[in-house]
Amino acid sequence: MSREVYIPFLVTGVFVFTFTQSSVMAGVRAISGNLGLVRALHFPRASLPISFALQQLQQLLFSMIVLFAVAVGFGHYPDLSWALIVPVLVLQFCFNTGLALIMARAGAKTPDLAQLMPFVMRTWMYASGVMFSIPIFLADKPSWMANVLQWNPAAIYMDLMRFALIDEYDQKYLPDHVWAAAGGWAVLFALGGFVYFWKAEERYGRG
């Protein structure tokens, strides 16, 4: 992978994964870190992790200015594929929000989980191809290894963003039915995360 491709490839991976990582870390503290507010006021508790996920989306949108500058600086100019950025961000936001809701309930029950999550997220980052292309890195390994890692939702959203931004990031690096997988992960976690969080609505702040 040439320097003109690798630098935007790396920066895109870092920014996109950080969006998920920050949403998870904010979600795990959403209830446990705001117990005073939760106990004092009656409001939909799900609004806390959702609002934190929205904050992380806002931060990513600011970071996208830097990402665009890096892409253009290395010769990847805006074209029609850049329009794919919008649905990618929408799907990743839905996935992140669901994950934040799940972690908010888990963090409310076990506040010390916030201390463990940085290690979990670091391991997830290494398995998601932030710094390397999974099919290239595992080219000489059994094909199932690359397939498993490529269906990792974090890897899917990073690859879709790279495909949208980087001219030379060919479709061959994406797993089959990648958009269906991205949508499936988003719907599964958004709906499942909300239901999972909502089922403990009356218990938050009472422990």
Task: Please answer whether residues 84 and 163 qualify as being in contact, where contact means their C-beta atoms are separated by less than 8 angstroms.
Answer: yes
Q: How confident is the prediction along the chain (207 residues), in pLDDT tens digits per residue?
A: 677 788 999 999 999 999 999 999 999 999 988 888 888 888 889 999 999 999 999 999 999 999 999 999 999 999 898 999 999 999 999 999 999 999 999 999 888 899 999 999 999 999 998 998 887 777 777 777 777 888 899 999 998 999 899 876 665 566 668 899 999 999 999 999 999 999 998 888 775
Sign of the dihedral through C-alpha 119, 11, 151, 139: negative
4 contacts: CB under 8 Å, gap ≥ 6: 74, 75, 76, 168
For residues 16 and 60, give the distance between their C-alpha atoms in angstroms, rounded to a whole number: 8
